[in-house]
Structure 1
Amino acid sequence: MQVFKFGGASVKDANGVKNLAKVLQDVGYDNTLVVFSAMGKTTNAIELVIKNYFENKSELQSSIQDVKKYHNEILLDLFENTQHPIFKKVASIFEDLDHFLSRNKSPDYNFVYDQTIGFGELTSTLIISEYLNSIGIQNNWLDVRNFIKTDSYYRRANVNWERTQIAIKENFDNKLLNITQGFLGSDANNFTTSLGREGSDYTAAIFAYCLNAQNVTIWKDVPGILNADPRYFENAQLLHSISYREAIELAFYGASVIHPKTLQPLQQKEIPLFVKSFLNPKDEGTKVVKDIRLSPNIPCYIVKKNQVLVSLSSLDFSYIVEENISEIFKLLHYYKMKVDVIQNSAISFSVCFENSYNNLEQLLQHLKAKFNVTSYENVSLYTVRHYNKQAITSIEKDKTLLLKQLTQETIQIVTK
């Protein structure tokens, strides 16, 4: 059993879908599960739909129409016969979207987000499944929500492993080529949940764990895991091999190639992970396994944009002690802030985090009741694993430093 995952860039248009079919033919697809993301930038487009639903109803139908048009153009490029059943299937999916948005009564943004966002994955997998069948690659389309069971923490749901393993064991036929959606699950009430942005990698790992898969391959538009994101750093190099531990560290700090939760279930059962290029599927890419040395042994750079840095000090110059820190973290948890860096001294405490749920103003008002508060928005957090002097110099050049923290293996720098 092997598990493949293809991201949106691999199937952003009809040529991408055709290339995907070629990759499967080149590398083989016996006893294979393939997990797909939404096509291209569909998730961003549906996020605009959700934003318009809450904030700009006059643009709602226009934004929905853009999503429909994008997928219809791909359909017309893949299927010459417009009477093919796939056209009705895709139309039915968008009818479901329209129906939900017209009937929904919940004011909860996170709930509405999860009920809406998954239409991208449902559409992409239906189109791909039908296309593969049409060219002789027989496959079985699965609704992932029948298999991955979660709690109701919308937009970042936690997997119920017991229920998920039972669902997969009882309903999955591993003798077939199976195709399903990444990113999605369902809660105890069968409402759709999502595993967090870029959660399709995690989906692949969940299935691999439950199926005792031989390996997992994530297919990207890059040669494998690089030591830096080429969008932000020059001369990025391919890492040929990397340990689970090191990959988990990089993922935790924000490396975009692998979702932070992906590696944990794979490590538990020592399932190898490969990251390869869908443009050059025969190349070796990067191998992630247990207790392997980083090769080549070079600094690894990570940057996270649009962060928030908040610095606190006590109103009466008293020490920031365990009681204060505990209260701060309770508030960060309550307002759903994902913490990336903390630093404290006798009378101050600084924390850098993501404001994913747009709760920053409420958090700051709460903190100002007990602390002096200084906040910086839209800051950048740079992390370098296995740093050297040259790496630090390159990060600090021409930037305003707000926070700097070093450990034996890692340096983190927050800049404006």
Structure 2
Amino acid sequence: MLQRSPDGRPPSMSRLEPSVGTARTRLRPMSADGARRASLTSDREQLQRVSAIARTAANIASRASLESMLSVMANEIQETDGIVGTQIILVTAGEKKLRMMGSAGFTRHPEFFDTLVECRQRGAPLATYAVLDTGMQAVYADRKAEMLGDSRWAPMHAYISEIEWKDFIATPFGSPEGIGGVINCYISPHAEVGSALCRFLEAMAEQAALAVDYHQLMERDRSRVRRDEQDRIARDLHDAVIQNMFAININANVIESLIRSSGSPPEAASKARDIQHLATTVQNDLRAIIRQLRPSVVAELGFAEAVDSFCAATSRRFGVPVSVVLDVVHRVDPAMADDCYYVVVEAVHNAVKHSGASRIDVFVGSHPSGALSATVSDDGIGMAAQSSQAGYGMASMRHRLAQWSGVFEVRARLPSGTVVTAHFMSPAPIETRSAR
């Protein structure tokens, strides 16, 4: 995660060059008195730090959100001797926009980043950006005094004066997802910055990177589960509810014809028409819901690409050559393109499943008026032999064409086979313009 120095040692153990302000980015030399104190407490501190890392690792799997993970981590770091303030900041690659994901030691400051940006605009050098650019941990000796003595940091003076601190350590981390961040630690004036503390913060930075990776993985899993569930609902609506509404519409049309031929009162025929209209309205509403749950392949790929991709996939799956000629150069209505695509899909499926064809040819063309034409032909057994098996599919295609004042034709192909032709004429469905 962290870049190493040319000599192979971790950056906290390397010679760090000055890069921000006038402070040197280096490790503070430890005094003799400090060394004696360190020898007396090193065992306790080591146990404390190892425990913090272990607790943080356990929390990664138990927290629902990335913010809660990193907030817990900030509090774990804060429990370390000598650290009086902790910030965990995330930045997305390319954006350079900072987000506070965890903080301890400071009071909540909603305008923190606005104030930080103001300081940057005044020319103040930000350690957070510096270590993100280098990818290496940096220690800033006497950072508080430096900032308080620099007028460019004036907007932040009140914030940094909330706690007693002296030195500052910035430790970057990154993830394969392109999300990086920095752990900023404010060190007590009574504490020494040693290599053990720096290594501890590097270890916590690796835990932060792990938390980001884990969160991204979980989000992808949740997103996939949501998409799968939406696809299932959309499929159920299309395969069951919409088909039942289609059947209701057809039966209402038959009832209206029977009423008219039997000489029944006009009110009865009117009620049958009302049922047809209601069924059509419900169908359109359900289709709109399906498009929201599962955007059509036409919306995702574009009309021509969707037809080409479907035909290629069908050819691979069933081993039947499907040739495609696309002449779609004019703008077409998205809803019309959607219906035309599904007519092509249904016609090709019928040819593959029912005709025994050894070859299928597909042509789709657009017209300056906005109309669309599609032709699907095969060299199979012919329409008479397969019509009884493809009854519903034919009815579904006719219904899609009828909404666009379209023309649907099925004829024999010589010497054998079937030709299905669909012409979508109207710029909008004549019965359902208001619904769409």
Q: TM-score, normalised by structure 2?
A: 0.18
Which structure has the highest strand share of the two? 1
> Which structure is higher in RCO with an 8 Å CA cutoff and minimum separation 6?
1
Which of the two has higher C-alpha Rg? 2
Which structure has the highest helix share of the two? 2
